[in-house]
Structure 1
Amino acid sequence: MTIQPAPLTFQERFARACDVATFTLDKGGPCYLLWEVDHVQAGQRVKLDGVFFTEEEARISADLLRGTLRGARASMCSYAPNWNPDPGREAAIRLEALQCREMLARRLGVHLAIPQEAV
């Protein structure tokens, strides 16, 4: 008989996800991977939450939302700043990811120190 380790709680999973503070490069290329939570409604994908820095943050949010929206799931998209450079848009995406992380922390009841962003 093998003993299975206890599954990680949402808070433990979130703490691990918060170790990452930047977006991941897509296959080492010029594109950033962004994570969102979406739901298919009437044949259309509807964004529910995000953007997030990590897949794990998006999965945690999807797991929490799945209580009311059964089809909520984490999905990946990419952003290529080299195709249409806009430093303002890049700053806005990063700020949105930090805000989504803070809202997820509040839903989990976790205190999170948010770094100050230059506006």
Structure 2
Amino acid sequence: MINKITAFFGSLMFVIGLLGFFMPNVLYLIQFDLFQSFIYVVLGAIGLKLGFGQSTTKSQLTYLQGLAITNLLLMMIGIFWPNLGDIVHLEVPEHFFHGAVGLTSALAADYFRKRQTIQ
């Protein structure tokens, strides 16, 4: 089950990253930066490798925890420093995306971590 969750988050981040490279201005709502798209593609590629490849549950849990930390950190940066010296330009819809991905990946990592210690 954790394979499917890891592959889902990996494919989500990979598709969002590719979308940012090829469509930097989505419906004039979200404007992707090159740096941000690169982060999404890297996180997505790692998630796809762990989700579909031969990997341990511990490495998949570490990926989900790292994804949660990264997305929640991006959300906090976007709330408190939206432009961050023109390196990253984060907008309000992206705060919701980062919060949702960060929260769900943190909850999934916690669920599978507790489930692993019980068995």
- Normalization by structure 2: what TM-score? 0.37
- Relative contact order, higher structure (CA 8 A, sep 6+): 2
User: Which of these two proteins has the greater Rg computed from alpha carbons?
Assistant: 1
Q: Greater strand share, 1 or 2?
A: 1
Q: Greater helix share, 1 or 2?
A: 2
